[in-house]
Structure 1
Amino acid sequence: MEQGTANLPELSQRRTVLWRAPMPPSFASFIGRKLLRFIVTVQGLGAFALITLGVMVTKFGAASRVIHPLVRAHLSRSGVRLLPMVMFVSVALGLVVIGQTVSLLQRANTTQFLGTVMVTVVVRELGPLLTALIVLSRTGTANVIELGTARALGEVEGLEALGIDPVHYLVVPRVIGMALGIFSLTVYLILGALLSGYLWAFLQDVPLRPGDYFAQLAHSLRALDFIALALKTSLFGIIIATVTCYHGLAQPLRLEEVSGATIRAVGQSVILCMLLDALFIVVYLVA
């Protein structure tokens, strides 16, 4: 067993003790305990992320006949299986954005900015974020439940007894598959939203020709948009996979504690994704 994975229970035991402690009598103690819990959680997530990164680097290409099929399986679960839901959301997103902006742009006689609005709202913000939340709600929660149940039933220790690194076998395929899955789904969602957006605009008799609409889209897109889109969606996948795998593996769980770990993983994943999105907004403003 890897030395890094052996330290996971020690990190999680301190975190579990803090969560099971009774409510402090004073508000100051309550705030202090919350702050200490946050620090311990950040330390645990950081250590787990570094362990995962180390395993990915040191064991790159190792056991490829086993790991590559697992990566494809998790890519299918985080991407292909969610494609119908993502396409439905993309059509709804195009309807919502167009429905809220067309009337305003027509009043100001500025329908020539319709493509710019779609790029700003869909490509840069809502597209990647909505896709990440969809994958989190379906695949991220499944990660916590599967890994937490395996940890509670002793299956993870069984892998270690067989000489199999749990991080390499259970975590790395999920991280790679989810990063690629969110990126791919985001591309489909953006394309669907842009096309459905023009369809809804056409149904509302907006005087905008298809050539003008797509010219606006091409004029509004920059090279930074494509780079930021790939980087943001990949980081969303890495964050969600790391947080959900951490809560499923890094602490000794009983079966009745799996649901609580799932709730914590979802909440922390949403917060981290929002913080990352805010960071990219700052980058857009500076650039």
Structure 2
Amino acid sequence: MLMSMVGKAGRRTLSFLDYATRNFALTWRLLSLAFSREKEGRIMVRRGVVEQIYFTAVQALPIIIPIALIIGIPLVLQLARVSGQYDAGRLAVILVVREVGPILTALVVTLRSATAVTIELGYMSVLREIEALEMAGIDPLRLICLPRLVGITVAIVCLFVVFDVVAIAGSYVLIFAFTDAQVAQFLYSFSQAITGLDIVVSLTKAFCFGIIISVICMFRGLSCKGNFTWIAINTSKASMESFFFCLVANIFITVVFYA
């Protein structure tokens, strides 16, 4: 029994190390392609980046804006009530800018857009379209994966900024227009509490989340070989793993900058 448990733990450890190594290699390869100056296919790569940003960021605005208001309105109301007792502005910075904004943005992008990338690449892998590109002398990582990496990462950073602005400023405007609540003092304390470090850390989180989500989803999509059943399985794994590793990265970045 003990040997069986040790063997199972060892196999899982080796499997995780292999998974982590492959994802790191894919990340390194894509980043090296991002900084290369190859002229061939540059127009197609740029077009792919623009299309991915449009699909991931612009088309997600009708989802991210209501979510930001749903989170921001009760938060602003509650913190405005205790603004005389606690540093409400600082609490809002910690909750919205540092933690909730990046995590919710990553969750929305993962559920809406990143899983679609896994399904798309999964079908391309099963139908051997990836192999056809390689046989034609085209690098599928540069033509297909690089635009998705850049597009998803830029989209998450932009959506994070939109989320924070709508959650704080948008909620303040709606509360001021439709209620009698006094929230001016809260908005002033928020503007005094937020620092450049908070903005840099939050943008760093959003940037890292974009890389994590795009790489994991593309890796799972490219791992679908020969069977359509693996597309659904890998899509589920990609969504769970992306969100889990975003949480881990969130803790790590917070500890590095604020511990």
**The two structures share one fold, judged by TM-score above 0.5:** yes
Say which SS state the counterpart of residue 26 (structure 1) adopts. Answer: helix
Distance of 1:25 and 1:260 partners within structure 2: 30
Q: In 2 relative to 1, CA 253–226 (structure 1 residues): closer, same or farther, beyond 3 Å? A: farther
What is the aligned partner in structure 2 of residue 237 from structure 1? 210
Q: Do the aligned partners of 2:76 and 2:168 also contact (CA within 8 Å) in 1?
A: no
Q: CA RMSD in A?
A: 2.3
Unaligned runs of 5+ in 2: none
Partner of 1:215: 188
Counterpart of 1:272 (choices 238, 245, 248) is: 245
Preserved CA contact (<8 Å) 1:98 1:200: no
8 A contact 2:73–2:172 mirrored in 1? no
Match of residue 110 from structure 1: 85
Name the CA distance, whole Å, in 2 between partners of 1:78 and 1:283: 29
> Contact (CA 8 Å) 2:68, 2:163: kept in 1 or not?
yes
Quick one: which amino acid aligns to residue 9 of structure 2? I
Once the two structures are TM-superposed, the CA of residue 80 in structure 1 deviates from its matched residue by: 0.2
Across the two proteins, how many residue pairs are aligned to each other? 257
Alpha-carbon displacement from aligned partner over 1:205-241 (angstroms, at most 9, x marks no partner): 54443xx333212211111122222222111111111
Choose the corresponding residue for 2:70, options 92, 112, 121.
92
What is the 5 A alignment of 1:258-269?
258-269=231-242
Which amino acid in structure 1 is aligned with residue 85 of structure 2?
T
Q: Please, which of 147, 150, 167 is the counterpart of residue 176 of structure 1?
A: 150
Q: Output the amino acid matched with 2:207.
A: S
Alpha-carbon deviation of 1:120? Answer: 1.4
Distance 1:221 1:62, change over 3 A: farther
TM-score (normalised: structure 1): 0.82
Distance 1:163 1:56 in 2: 19
Residue 253 of structure 1 and its aligned partner are, at CA, apart by 4.3
CA separation of 1:138/1:25 partners in 2, compared to 1, >3 Å: closer, same or farther? farther
* Stretch of structure 1 that moved more, 93-102 or 165-174: 93-102
Cα gap change, 1:60 to 1:279, in 2 (>3 Å): farther
- How far residue 126 of structure 1 moved from its aligned partner, in angstroms, is 0.3
Q: Deviations over 1:69-127 (max 9, x none)?
A: 11000000110000010001000111342455456x27xx426x332222111011100
Name the TM-score, length of structure 2 as normaliser: 0.90
Q: What is the alpha-carbon distance in structure 1 between the residues aligned to residue 11 and residue 74 of structure 2?
A: 42
Are the structure 2 counterparts of residues 62 and 232 from structure 1 closer, same or farther at C-alpha, using a change threshold of 3 Å?
farther
Q: Paired residue for 1:162?
A: 136
d(CA) in 2 for partners of 1:154 and 1:51?
A: 21
Alignment-derived partner of residue 53 in structure 2: 75
**Equivalent position amino acid for 2:45 in 1:** I
The 2-side partners of 1:262 and 1:78 are apart by 17
- 2-structure distance, mates of 1:206, 1:60: 57
- The gaps in structure 1 that reach 5 residues or longer are 1-23
Q: Secondary structure at the residue paired with 1:58? A: coil
1:43 and 2:21 are equivalent in the alignment: yes
- How far apart, CA to CA, are the structure 2 residues paired with 1:101 and 1:61? 53
Mapped to 1, the partners of 2:182 and 2:77 lie a distance apart of 15
Give the corresponding residue for 2:43. Answer: 65
Stretch moving more, 263-272 or 186-195: 263-272
CA distance in 2, matches of 1:174, 1:95: 33
Matched, 1:135 2:109: yes
Aligned counterparts of 2:151 and 2:37: Cα–Cα separation in 1: 17
Q: 2:30 aligns with which of 39, 52, 56?
A: 52
> Are the aligned partners of 2:68 and 2:166 in contact in 1 as well (CA < 8 Å)?
yes
Which amino acid letter does the alignment assign opposite residue 169 of structure 1? Answer: L
Cα offsets for 1:129-172 (capped at 9, x unmatched)? 10011001011100110001100001111111111100001110
Relative to structure 1, the CA distance from residue 85 to residue 63 in structure 2 (aligned partners, 3 Å threshold; closer, same or farther) is same
**187-196 or 93-102, larger mean C-alpha shift:** 93-102
2:5 corresponds to which of 27, 43, 49: 27
